[in-house]
Chain A
Amino acid sequence: MSAPLLKVRGLRTVFHMADGSWPAVDGVDLEVRRGEVLGLVGESGSGKTVTGFSIVGLVDPPGEVIGGEVLFQGEDLRNAREARLRALRGDRIAMIFQDPLMTLNPVLTVGEQMAEAVLEHHAVGAAAALARAEETLERVGISSARARLAQYPHEFSGGMRQRVAIATALLNKPDLIIADEPTTALDVTIQSQILFEMQKLARESGTALIWITHDLTVVAELADRVAVMYAGRIVESGALATVLDHPRHPYTRGLLDSVPDVAARGSRLPQIFGMAPRLDTRPAGCAFSPRCTRANDRCKHDDPPETMVEGRLLRCHHPLYHGKFG
Chain B
Amino acid sequence: MATYALQRLIQSLFVLLAASIVVFLAVYGIGDPIELLVPPQASAMEREEMVRRLGLDLPLWRQYLAFAWNAMHGDLGRSFVHGVPAIELILSRLPATLELVTLAMAIALAIGIPLGLVAGLDRDTPLSRIIMGGTVLGYSLPNFWKGMMLILVFAVLLGWLPSSGRGETAVILGVKSSLFTADGLRHLILPALNLAIPNMALMIRLVAAGATEAKAQDYVKYARAKGVRPGRIVRRHILRNILIPVVTVAGIEFGSLVAFSTITETVFAWPGMGKLLIDSIYQLDRPLVVAYIMLATFLFVSVNLLVDLLYAGLDPRVRLMGEAA
Contacts and interface: CB of A to CB of B under 8 A. Distances in A.
Interface of A: 56, 58, 60, 86-91, 94-95, 97, 99, 102-108, 112-113, 116-117, 120-121, 152, 154-155, 168
21 contacts: A56-B225, A60-B221, A90-B225, A90-B226, A90-B227, A95-B226, A97-B218, A102-B219, A103-B222, A104-B219, A105-B219, A105-B237, A107-B240, A107-B315, A108-B240, A116-B226, A120-B228, A120-B229, A152-B316, A152-B317, A154-B316
B222 A104 contact: yes
B224 interface: yes
A117 B224 contact: no
B130 to A, nearest CB: 22
A97 B219 CA distance: 10
Nearest to A83: B229
A103 B218 contact: yes
A99 B218 contact: yes
B236 to A, nearest CB: 7
A218 B244 CA distance: 41
B237 A108 contact: yes
Nearest to B230: A86
A149 to B, nearest CB: 15
B38 to A, nearest CB: 59
A58 B224 contact: yes
B227 A88 contact: yes
A155 B113 CA distance: 31
A102 B229 CA distance: 20
- Chain B interface main SS type: helix
A88 B227 CA distance: 7
Contact of B226 (A107, A108, A117, A154): A117
Interface residues of B, number: 23
Contacts of A56: 225
Contacts of A106: 219, 241, 316-317
Given A116-B228, A155-B320, 14 more contacts: A58-B224, A86-B224, A90-B227, A90-B228, A94-B225, A97-B222, A103-B222, A104-B219, A105-B223, A106-B241, A107-B315, A107-B316, A116-B236, A168-B226
A121 B227 contact: yes
A89 B227 CA distance: 5
Contacts of A116: 223, 226, 228, 232, 236
Contacts of B70: none
Contacts of A94: 225-226
A121 B225 CA distance: 13
B237 A91 contact: no
Interface in B147-177: none
A5 to B, nearest CB: 18
Contacts of A87: 227
Interface string B199-223: 0000000000000000001110111
Central interface residue in A87, A104, A116, by most chain B CB within 10 Å = A116
B227 A86 contact: yes
Contacts of B317: 106, 152, 154
Contacts of A152: 316-317
A54 B18 CA distance: 60
A297 B43 CA distance: 111
